[in-house]
Structure 1
């Protein structure tokens, strides 16, 4: 059986080598969330803290991906090589799968974006972002656009500037409670943001918030 490579320090992931420009063009964190949930959460845990169901069975404890002190020191290229399994000798351990052998480059890039979200965002994903995407596509995309950039179809008709949900720096300034209030009650004045509290349940609004948190690249 072919030996798999991983970190000797807490375990991280694996990647495929890209050009330097590719690292700056991350996929949305939401795409990475789905890949992470399907492939990485069994070891790292869905919250990325390293306490997944399989973690106790491994010789090397999976990395805590919420540890900003550690991950901020790693460049995107370094993390990419760790995920792929091509990091320099001595930085890998046998418990870490070489995801570069199984996942396409686009999914590896989205994983990198989600890992960056896990250690850089101040706000947890507590709802179901997959359900949130469905609700967002059905109700919010007409104004905010299908990609969340604030360029929905209706902006071609009305003079309005919906919020850009892909702007990580500005979105990170707002708490989940603040976003909930905006979605639930709407905004006053000419911004045309309607309130959804009579249409969406509290859980549905929470799911939308979780999806919005993952719209931006990190």
Structure 2
């Protein structure tokens, strides 16, 4: 499992243990703590799902960030992403004003591992206008976009 996936799995386990403890205590004491426990358990389930998805991805980008890859990523970004995220990735593209929540400022993605960026591009982001590109871009093209996004954060 990749490092980000492992980190999420550990977090999910801690939340699950805390949730089970709070749920057991809350049910015995007939307290609202039971609701806290149930919420922690539900949250841990979300983290488990994310950890499993991240665990299936390579820990590193398999496409070298060559100038050609970055140019390909830039072309794909301009074609598919710029309308929402803007030419510099600030989240200020022509469609941004109509979207709720607003598109992410991609210059702030430097702290995210490549595998998480790839996952977001592949699956989209539920609850936002960010679509999944799994059926639109090939796997290699999605990695090229990741390479280009890295240039936005430099």
Fold equivalence (TM over 0.5): yes
Q: Retained in 2: the 8 A contact 1:33–1:111?
A: yes
Q: Distance in 2 between matches of 1:21 and 1:51?
A: 29
TM superposition shift of 1:46: 1.1
Would you identify which runs of 4 or more consecutive aligned residues in structure 1 move more than 4 Å?
A: none
Q: Distance in 1 between matches of 2:60 and 2:114?
A: 11
Could you tell me which runs of 5 or more consecutive residues in structure 2 were left unpaired when the two chains were aligned. 1-55
For residue 115 of structure 2, the aligned residue among 68, 72, 77 is 77
For residue 64 of structure 1, the aligned residue among 98, 105, 111 is 105
Q: Distance in 1 between matches of 2:59 and 2:152?
A: 22
Q: Retained in 2: the 8 A contact 1:32–1:110?
A: yes
Q: Distance in 2 between matches of 1:32 and 1:99?
A: 13
Q: Retained in 2: the 8 A contact 1:82–1:92?
A: no
Could you tell me which runs of 5 or more consecutive residues in structure 1 were left unpaired when the two chains were aligned. 1-16, 121-218
CA RMSD of aligned residues (A): 2.1
Query: Does 2:143 match 1:109?
Result: yes
Secondary structure in 2 matching 1:72: helix
Q: Determine the structure 2 residue equivalent to 1:46.
A: 87
Q: Determine the structure 1 residue equivalent to 2:130.
A: 96
Return the structure number with greater helix share.
Answer: 2
TM superposition shift of 1:21: 5.2
Secondary structure in 1 matching 2:145: helix
Deviations 1:9-56 (A, max 9, x none): xxxxxxxx7534544634621111100001100000111111000001
Q: TM-score, normalised by structure 2?
A: 0.56
Q: Retained in 2: the 8 A contact 1:42–1:55?
A: yes
- How does 1:164-179 map onto structure 2 within 5 Å? none
Q: Retained in 1: the 8 A contact 2:60–2:114?
A: no
TM superposition shift of 1:77: 0.6
Q: Distance in 1 between matches of 2:61 and 2:88?
A: 26
Q: TM-score, normalised by structure 1?
A: 0.41
Higher relative contact order (CA 8 A, sep 6+): 1
